[in-house]
């Protein structure tokens, strides 16, 4: 177990990662969208638009529905943001730079991912509105399907480390990154990473075909917080992917945290490209693929990883 | 309804936190991890049994407010006083113990037969339940030959009358 930060420094650290990460996602998403749609665009617009959108949402009025579960509705975005913070907290950015690199960090990250289902379902449920609730149910179906391949893909990385601590998982990759050692792991993980942050092709709860899904009835600051929390979740899975599969802080010349940030940014760019290049999958098809293709592949991944250690 | 399920989840998270405080970090976190899914599935199943469509305009699930508040306060006070006044054994665990590794050795060592037997029994039960509840199986549609229930409760179910007889009856 590597040294953890002081409590106040850990809070600042996680807050900085979430803030910078969410802003980077917003900027890169706009840059990619603009370059795909062609035409002229100024880079400065991409940097300023997220801020402008956020300010607009902050001044917007809240909408209200008939008999919502007001407390749960208000708490759901906060829960999602907190889960993203928990996920980031267990990942070390350098040999001794982690908010909480605990012995069972892997399990805590998995628990945070499992609770995303609670946050999204409550967000869809508590508005007491049809399409929001359909979004919530869709996410439960999707989340139950991707959680097993997710756990198995991450578990494969814990095998060579012989530890559930994320720091140990990174240290076991000093000679060889897991993305090479377990070629199935990172693709499986990225599928799930898109699912857990309901991103791009796996955006089931907040889709345009549901008029926005769980976000349909949400406006103003609550909508801003939900979008930020969802971006933070995307950052959290990218940070974990960089640590678990791409060697974390290891890399030549540059210091560890820089490598870690670069790898995280790389995974975020991949996820953003996926969002703009791949059309949304139908939920039924995804559930079938998850149970019949992803889970067996993940089992093969774990089995082969275990065999290589023996 | 859903809120009740998630309050139960909150109490399970509390139990998990107690386990973490008792140095059983892995067990506590796994409990929290499992319960998120369990409670959501339970909530969805409960909603399926509700009368209103998919849970819109949720039913009031809490009855007898005064009695339940009083019961909750009394239970909390009783447990809290037990926690404060009871004499607990003082056996501090050493911080260096790797409880996760010990748990793994226990699960796959002496107790392996017990856990594997229980696991296979549970898996068999689940497969059996799916076989019993699935509509299609190797013997065809499970609902073949069955009849949808009539709207009138006293209408006889298994008397498919020929159409001529019905005409005669009406005239």
Average pLDDT of chain B to the nearest whole number: 79
Q: Which of A2, A36, A3 has its CA nearest to residue A272? A: A36
Residue A133 CB-half CA count within 13 A: 18
Burial B43-58 (b: 16+ CB within 10 A, else e): bbeebeeeeeeebeeb
Query: Residues 97 to 116 of B: which have CB under 8 A from any A CB?
Result: 98, 100
Query: From the candidates A115, A130, A161, which should be mutated to test the interface with B, based on the most B CB atoms within 10 A?
Result: A115
CA angle A144, A244, B25 (to 5 degrees): 70
- Torsion angle, alpha carbons of A100, A229, A59, A134, to 10: -150
- Among the partner residues A69, A111, A133, nearest to B36 by beta-carbon distance: A111
A164 with B100: Cβ contact below 8 A: yes
State the DSSP H helix or E strand holding residue B23, giving kind and residue range, or none if neither. Answer: none
Q: For chain A, what are the domain ranges?
A: 7-309
Tens digit of each residue's pLDDT (9 = 90 or more) over B3-60: 788 888 899 999 999 888 887 888 888 899 888 888 888 888 888 877 766 666 666 6
Query: What is the C-alpha separation between A105 and A100, in angstroms, rounded?
Result: 8
Q: Which of B27, B134, B68 has its CA nearest to residue A108? A: B27
Instruction: Spell out which residues of chain A touch residue B43, defining contact as CB-CB under 8 Å.
Output: 121
CA distance A308 to chain B (A): 20
CA angle A131, A135, A138 (to 5 degrees): 135
Note down pLDDT in tens along chain A; length 310 residues: 445 677 888 888 889 888 999 999 988 888 888 888 776 667 777 788 888 888 888 888 888 888 888 888 889 999 999 999 999 988 888 877 777 778 788 889 999 999 999 999 999 888 888 888 889 999 999 998 888 898 888 888 888 888 888 888 888 888 888 888 888 888 889 888 888 888 888 888 888 888 888 888 888 888 999 999 999 999 999 999 998 888 888 888 788 888 888 999 999 999 999 988 888 888 889 999 999 999 999 999 999 888 888 7
Res. B161: pLDDT tops 90: no
pLDDT band, residue B77 (cuts 50/70/90): very high
For A115, name the nearest residue in chain B, comparing CA atoms only: B36
For A1, name the nearest residue in chain B, comparing CA atoms only: B96
- Among the partner residues A69, A72, A107, nearest to B29 by beta-carbon distance: A107
* Res A297: pLDDT: 92
- Among the partner residues B36, B54, B57, nearest to A115 by beta-carbon distance: B36
Q: Residue B86: helix, strand or coil by DSSP?
A: coil
For A116, name the nearest residue in chain B, comparing CA atoms only: B36
Burial A131-142 (b: 16+ CB within 10 A, else e): bbbbbbbbbbbb
Q: Which of A132, A240, A261, A79 has its CA nearest to residue B56? A: A132
A118 with B25: Cβ contact below 8 A: no
CA distances from A6 to A3, A95, A248 (A): 9, 15, 22
pLDDT band, residue B73 (cuts 50/70/90): very high
B13's tokens: 């998270």
Tens digit of each residue's pLDDT (9 = 90 or more) over A11-42: 888 898 889 999 999 888 888 888 887 766 67
A128 with B40: Cβ contact below 8 A: no
CA distance A75 to chain B (A): 12
B29 touches chain A (CB under 8 A): yes
Q: Read off the pTM.
A: 0.84
Query: From the candidates B36, B56, B105, which should be mutated to test the interface with A, based on the most A CB atoms within 10 A?
Result: B36
Phi and psi of B141, rounded to 5°?
Answer: -65, 130
* Res B125: pLDDT: 95
A117 with B40: Cβ contact below 8 A: yes
Instruction: Spell out which residues of chain B touch residue A117, defining contact as CB-CB under 8 Å.
Output: 36-37, 40
B27 touches chain A (CB under 8 A): no
Tens digit of each residue's pLDDT (9 = 90 or more) over B121-150: 999 999 998 887 777 766 677 677 777 777
CA distance A167 to chain B (A): 16
- Alpha-helical runs (H) found in chain A: 7-37, 43-59, 70-89, 105-126, 130-161, 166-171, 178-181, 185-196, 220-245, 256-277, 283-289, 295-309
Instruction: Spell out which residues of chain A touch residue B32, defining contact as CB-CB under 8 Å.
Output: 111
């Amino acid at each position: 177990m590597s040294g953890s930060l002081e409590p106040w420094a850990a809070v600042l650290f996680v807050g900085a990662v979430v803030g910078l990460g969410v802003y980077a996602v917003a900027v890169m998403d706009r840059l990619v969208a603009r370059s795909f749609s062609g035409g002229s665009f100024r880079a400065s617009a991409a940097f300023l638009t997220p801020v402008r959108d956020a300010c607009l949402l902050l001044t917007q009025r809240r909408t209200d529905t008939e008999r919502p579960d007001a407390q749960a509705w208000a708490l759901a975005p906060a829960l999602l943001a907190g889960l993203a913070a928990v996920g980031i907290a267990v990942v070390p950015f350098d040999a001794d730079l982690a908010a909480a690199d605990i012995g069972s960090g892997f399990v805590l990250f998995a628990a945070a991912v499992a609770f995303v289902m609670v946050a999204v379902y409550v967000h869809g449920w508590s508005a007491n509105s049809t399409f929001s609730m359909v979004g919530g149910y869709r996410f439960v179906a999707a989340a139950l399907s991707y959680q097993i391949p997710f756990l198995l893909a991450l578990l494969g990385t814990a095998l060579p480390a012989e530890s559930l601590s994320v720091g140990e998982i990174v240290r076991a990759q000093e000679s060889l990154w897991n993305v090479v050692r377990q070629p199935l792991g990172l693709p499986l993980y990225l599928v799930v990473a898109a699912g857990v942050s309901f991103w791009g092709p796996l955006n089931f709860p907040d889709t345009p075909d549901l008029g926005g899904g769980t976000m349909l009835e949400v406006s103003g600051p609550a909508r801003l917080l939900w979008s930020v929390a969802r971006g933070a979740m995307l950052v959290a899975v990218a940070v974990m992917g960089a640590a678990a599969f791409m060697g974390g802080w290891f890399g030549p010349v540059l210091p560890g945290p820089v490598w870690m940030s670069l790898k995280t940014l790389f995974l975020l760019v991949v996820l953003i490209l996926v969002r703009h290049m791949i059309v949304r999958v139908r939920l039924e098809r995804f559930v079938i693929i998850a149970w019949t293709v992803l889970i067996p592949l993940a089992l093969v991944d774990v089995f082969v990883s275990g065999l290589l250690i023996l | 309804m859903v809120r009740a399920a998630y309050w139960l989840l909150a109490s399970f998270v509390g139990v998990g936190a107690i386990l973490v405080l008792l140095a059983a970090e892995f067990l506590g976190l796994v409990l929290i991890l499992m319960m998120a899914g369990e409670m959501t599935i339970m909530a969805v199943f409960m909603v399926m049994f509700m009368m209103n469509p998919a849970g819109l305009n949720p039913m009031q699930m809490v009855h007898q407010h005064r009695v339940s508040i009083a019961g909750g306060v009394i239970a909390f006070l009783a447990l809290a006083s037990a926690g404060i006044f009871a004499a607990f054994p003082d056996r501090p665990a050493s911080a260096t113990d790797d409880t996760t590794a010990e748990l793994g050795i226990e699960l796959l060592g002496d107790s392996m037969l017990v856990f594997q037997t229980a696991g296979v029994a549970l898996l068999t039960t689940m497969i059996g339940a799916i076989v019993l509840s699935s509509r299609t199986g190797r013997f065809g549609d499970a609902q073949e030959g069955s009849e949808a229930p009539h709207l009138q409760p006293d209408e006889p179910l298994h008397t498919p009358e020929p159409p001529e007889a019905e005409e005669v009856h009406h005239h």
